[in-house]
Amino acid sequence: MNGSPAIQSAEGGAMAFTTTHWSAVLEAQGETPAAHKALEILCRTYWRPLFGFARRQGLTREEAQDLVQEFFAGLLAHRNLNTVRREKGRLRSYLLVSVKRFIASERHRASGVKRYESGPHIPLDELLESEAADFELAETLSADQLYERRWALAMLEQVITRLESEYRATNNAALFDRLKEFLVGEQARPLQADIGAELGMTENAVKQAFHRFRQRYRVLLREEIAHTVMAPGDVEDELRHLISVLRG
């Protein structure tokens, strides 16, 4: 599946976005700007799911950080289309199987995971800071469960990031900030009348704005999922899997 470099925003204009496309994984390779960009996008999107999985395998924080860094550095240079097909063309499954094999290979090659010095460096300071804050909260999950949950949350984060960019591009950042609160559970939701008074909108206008916000959220979520599978027919199954992971 080839990923388009742009999407059409709700207002009809083209808007660039960054996400993990299969085309980036399968086509970009070597020491080229395209390969480095693909690596950075992959790393930022899937860092936390894979880092959490590595920690569950008994690696220290530093060992897991180095292993995931090296895993991504070698991923684009050593493509395995048979593995992709075997995992039904789903990036989520492909990366999990790949990192399991990578960890097993490293443990077989050495008594422990060494600190890696080769490969391009991807700046991940902010990701590591957030990782340290919530790692303990997920200790009840297995390695695979932790990976799946963080994969699902990474997809949702991509959607919110794209939505925010769209709203800010049309000078509606304040509206986005308030509408986003409706997506966070049932508790402490703001009243539509209060938001309307704050932003100079009627209560009905706020209601309609949230309806459009939610519709756009669903469209972008479907697009994000579509960029992680190779066959369009797999989107619905992957969406159902994402929902089941979050509910679990």
pLDDT of amino acid 201: 93
Please count the other Cβ atoms lying within 10 Å of the Cβ belonging to residue 237.
14
Segment (H or E) for 16: strand 14-16
Distance CA 162, CA 170 (A): 13
pLDDT of the residue at 59: 87
* Residue 217 CB coordination number (10 Å): 18
Q: What is the pLDDT of residue 197?
A: 92
Q: Where are the domains of the chain?
A: 6-247
Indicate the burial class of 172 (C-beta count within 10 angstroms; 0-12, 13-18, 19 or more). middle
pTM to 2 decimal places = 0.69
At 113 the pLDDT is 43
Neighbouring CB atoms inside 10 A of 84's CB total 20
Would you say 166 and 215 are in contact if contact means Cβ atoms under 8 Å apart? no
Decide: 189 and 182 in contact? Cβ < 8 Å: yes
Q: Which of 38, 78, 15, 13 is nearest to 227 (CA)?
A: 38
pLDDT in tens, the chain (248 residues): 333 333 233 333 322 323 345 555 555 455 667 666 766 777 778 888 999 899 888 888 888 888 888 888 777 666 554 555 566 668 888 889 888 988 888 876 765 444 444 444 444 444 444 454 455 545 678 889 989 988 998 889 889 999 999 999 999 999 999 998 887 655 456 788 888 999 999 999 999 999 999 999 999 999 889 888 877 888 899 999 999 998 87
- Specify the pLDDT at position 160: 92
Closest by CA position to 78, among listed 3, 22, 20, 26: 26
DSSP state of 28: -
Contacts (Cβ under 8 Å, ≥6 apart) of 137: none
Write the CB contacts of 124 (distance below 8 Å, at least 6 apart in sequence).
Answer: 43, 44, 47, 65, 69
